[in-house]
Chains A and B, each alone.
Chain A
Amino acid sequence: MSARTSLGSTPSRVRTSAPILRGYYAVLIALLYLPIAILVLFSLNANQVLAFPLQGFTLQWYSNALGTPTALTAARNSVVVAAGSSFVATLLATMVAILVARYSFRGKQLLLALSVLPLIVPYIVLAVALLLLFAALDVNRSLWTVGIAHTVIGLPYALLIIVARLGGVSPFLEEAAADLGADYLTTLRRIILPIIAPAIVAAWLVAFTASFDEFALALFLAGADPTLPVFIYGQLRFASRLPMLISLAAMVMVGTLTIVFIAERLRRRT
């Protein structure tokens, strides 16, 4: 073999493994999409029972979903909780990110660990813990309690995105700003935040979608006002409403994918 040979360009290797891997990828992707595709197919099928053969095309379930006030209220609740909790999570994550990347202090490792730890605590434990806290504080369960839980789980995701971006920003920009007479808060506001703005928006959107889809915590912490996943779960016991619920979830899926797409574009922009 020549010196130029590398894993990516070995002819024999490409010939043997590339088609197999490509085929494996194609099969696995097909299997990942199949259940979702079948569900979407049923949401367009004029039959209350989710079974083959198909009975004909209809948009009835979609109009049903949009005509169900409780569903729309639940969707609105989810948007409010996701918007609020992702705002707080991103704000706190930005603060922690600046501290981690730009300051040196005792307890830094502890703060970082506390911020990332929610990633490795099973959600049911966090749900139970917050349930106890709110009971101890005599706080009734509501959208607020769900939102607070979602700030805790959104923070690590937002933090990882913002820290990655902040790591690529030269500290000497801040020094230059200081040399020109800016105090540190002004430097943060006028120099650092604009530079990491795309990452902050991406983090906010990721935290938003994480909250919007979250169910395990919401089921424990939501009061009389359900979020969308809690509403959908509550309706699942009525078999006749299944097609309507699926059309609801399909519409949410399109919305979520749009948000994720925007987030990804922003994260990649440099």
Chain B
Amino acid sequence: MPGLRCGSTSKPRSARAQPLVTTPTPVARRTGPGAFRTGAGSRPLRLRLDRNTTFWGLVVPPAVWLALFFLAPLLLIAVISLRPDLRGGVLASFAPTIDQYRTLLEKPTYLRLFGTSVGMALTVAAAATLLAFPIAYFLAFRAGRHAGLFLALLLIPFWTSFLLRVMAWKVMLGSNGVINSFLLSTGLAREPVEFLLYNRFAVIITLVYVWIPFVALPILAGLHRIDPSLFEAAADLGSTPVQRFWRVVLPLSLPGVIAGFFMCFIPTVGEYVTPLLVGGSAGSMYGNLVQDFFTKAANWPLGAAMSLVMLLGTLAFVAIALRLINPRQFAA
């Protein structure tokens, strides 16, 4: 703080040791909201109340909104998943049962599909990360003057309608689609290749396409954070460019790479739209199963149990993976 306050403009009234704005201190955290300006004993009472009132005005709307429309719905999933059925409406009283989870365990196809979806999400995230890394590297270190333009070019597809991009792949892969037209007209194939669309391959290729620009962003941010003098230091110590890449650039960029990977992985596990459009029944994912239980099959308690398994399974997977990788060791 010293040196930052404008001494020439401060009035006698403000002769205090601390700035008005508090920074997080252990003291404040322990004493709670009512006392977050413990260091300001000499300040007029009016100002203190005023900042306090403002605090409540700022904290109540977002807290209530998130509690009602984010936290409560997630808890409701857990409650509904313990119901035997939905008789009497969502809020009717019931005797808790773990029947839904038992059903889930007894039908191995359900959990196997979850495993398949996790596998597909891992494939998509890995492919998108691998393909996006050189792009981010180029933008960070090799794009030169036009880096901004090159970045904008990368982001335009990302801001293009998601449905449009998925539809585009349907048109690309379909039996009278672009790839087949090309194969037929060049004589590379006699009849349309049917195995391109309506399977897991189509879902994976479409999702990789959709995610590449998005994954490049955190990797780019990670690369931008690297101190360039480290490269000089490595060079001075006699490293080759390849060594510099493997032992300096890559480890230091890993937090960004991991962020990009999981920002793609998590939404992909719960994906149900892309399989609907290009996956067909052979390419359907766990998300489609959940969707079915809430629409066609109309078994909300089982659907709720499946959603909760997905949410907790995904978060647990991410937590374990992060613990194993421990990104902090690279960031240090």
Q: Which residues of A contact B51 (CB under 8 A)?
A: 184
Interface segment, one of A57-65, A125-133, A193-201: A125-133
CB of A172 to closest CB in B, whole Å:
6
Query: What per-residue 1/0 map shows which CB atoms of B50-67 lie under 8 Å from chain A?
Result: 110111011101110111
**A143 to B277 CA separation, bound complex (whole angstroms):** 24
B80 and A132 form a contact (CB under 8 A): yes
Complex interface residues of chain A between 115 and 135 (CB less than 8 A to chain B) = 115, 117-126, 128-133, 135
B25 contacts the other chain (Cβ, under 8 Å)? yes
Residue of A with least CB distance to B161: A249
Asked if A24 and B138 sit within 8 Å, CB to CB, the answer is yes
Contact A38 B168 (CB under 8 A): yes
**Residue contact B157 to A32, C-beta cutoff 8 Å:** yes
Out of A52, A125, A188, A232, which one reaches B311, CB within 8 Å? A125
Within 8 A of A (CB), among B107-159: 131, 134-135, 137-139, 141-143, 150, 152-157, 159
B201 within 8 A of A: no
Which chain B residues border A179 with CB–CB below 8 Å?
9-11, 13-14
B5-40 at interface with A (beta carbon < 8 Å): 5-6, 9-11, 13-14, 19-25, 28-30, 32-33, 36
- Contact between B231 and A33, CB atoms less than 8 A apart: no
Interface membership of A152, Cβ < 8 A = yes
Q: Within residues 133 to 169 of chain A, which ones have a CB less than 8 A from any CB in chain B?
A: 133, 135-136, 148-149, 151-152, 155
B33 touches A105 (CB 8 A): yes
What A residues does B32 contact at CB under 8 A? 105-106
How close is A141's CB to chain B, nearest CB, in angstroms?
12
User: Which residues of B in the span 59-91 have a Cβ within 8 Å of any Cβ on A?
Assistant: 59, 61-63, 65-67, 69-74, 76-77, 80, 89-91
Contact A120 B290 (CB under 8 A): no
- The answer to whether residues A249 and B235 also contact, given A111-B62, A125-B310 and a CB cut-off of 8 A, is no
- Find out whether the CB atom of A220 lies under 8 angstroms from the CB atom of B294: yes
Output the least CB separation between A156 and chain B (Å).
10
> Which of these, A8, A171, A185, contacts B21 with CB under 8 Å?
A171
Query: What residue in chain B is nearest A229 (Cβ atoms)?
Result: B163
B4 interface residue per 8 A CB criterion: yes
A117 close to B70 (CB less than 8 A): yes
**A130-B69, A152-B69 known; A7+B163 contact, CB < 8 A:** no
Give which listed residue, B29, B178, B236, contacts A38 with CB less than 8 A: B178
- Interface range, A side: 35 or more
Distance A236 CA – B150 CA, assembled complex (angstroms): 34
For residue B255, CB closer than 8 A to chain A, the reply is: no
Give the chain B neighbours of A155 by CB distance below 8 A: 62, 66
Knowing A7-B141, A49-B176, A152-B70 are in contact, say whether A170-B4 is a contact too (CB < 8 A). Answer: yes
Tell me whether A36 and B160 are in contact (CB under 8 A).
yes
Of the candidates A50, A133, A178, the one whose C-beta lies within 8 Å of that of B20 is A178
Chain A residues, Cβ within 8 Å of B213: 32
Residues of A within 8 A of B4 (CB): 170, 172
A3, A103, A175: which contacts B19 (Cβ < 8 A)? A175
B299 lies within 8 A of chain A by Cβ: no
* In the complex, A213 has a CB within 8 A of chain B: yes
A10 within 8 A of partner (CB): yes
B96 at the interface (CB under 8 A from A): no
Q: Is the CB of B161 within 8 A of A213?
A: yes
Asked if B33 and A106 make an inter-chain contact with CB atoms under 8 angstroms apart, the answer reads: yes
A120:B165 contact, CB within 8 angstroms:
no
Judge if B251 is at the interface, Cβ distance under 8 Å: no
Could you say which residues of chain A place their CB within 8 Å of the CB of B168?
Answer: 35-36, 38-39
Q: Does B190 contact A (CB under 8 A)?
A: no
Asked if A39 and B304 sit within 8 Å, CB to CB, the answer is: no
Pair A38/B54 contact, Cβ less than 8 Å: no
A128 to B80, CA, bound (A): 11
Q: In the complex, what distance in Å separates the CA atom of A184 from the CA atom of B54?
A: 7
Q: Contact residues of A with B, CB < 8 Å?
A: 1, 3-8, 10, 12-14, 16-18, 21-22, 24-25, 28-29, 31-33, 35-36, 38-39, 42, 49-52, 88, 91-93, 95-96, 98-99, 102-106, 108, 111, 114-115, 117-126, 128-133, 135-136, 148-149, 151-152, 155, 170-172, 174-176, 178-179, 183-185, 188, 209, 213, 215-216, 219-220, 229, 232-233, 236, 242, 245-246, 249-250, 252-253, 256-257, 260, 264
A-B contact pairs, 19 of them (CB 8 A): A6-B232, A7-B244, A13-B241, A21-B134, A21-B142, A39-B171, A92-B65, A98-B58, A102-B22, A104-B22, A108-B24, A120-B262, A120-B318, A122-B270, A129-B307, A130-B73, A171-B20, A174-B21, A183-B46
Nearest first, the 10 A-B pairs at minimum CB distance are A122-B270, A129-B73, A35-B168, A171-B21, A7-B231, A104-B28, A249-B164, A136-B90, A175-B20, A105-B33
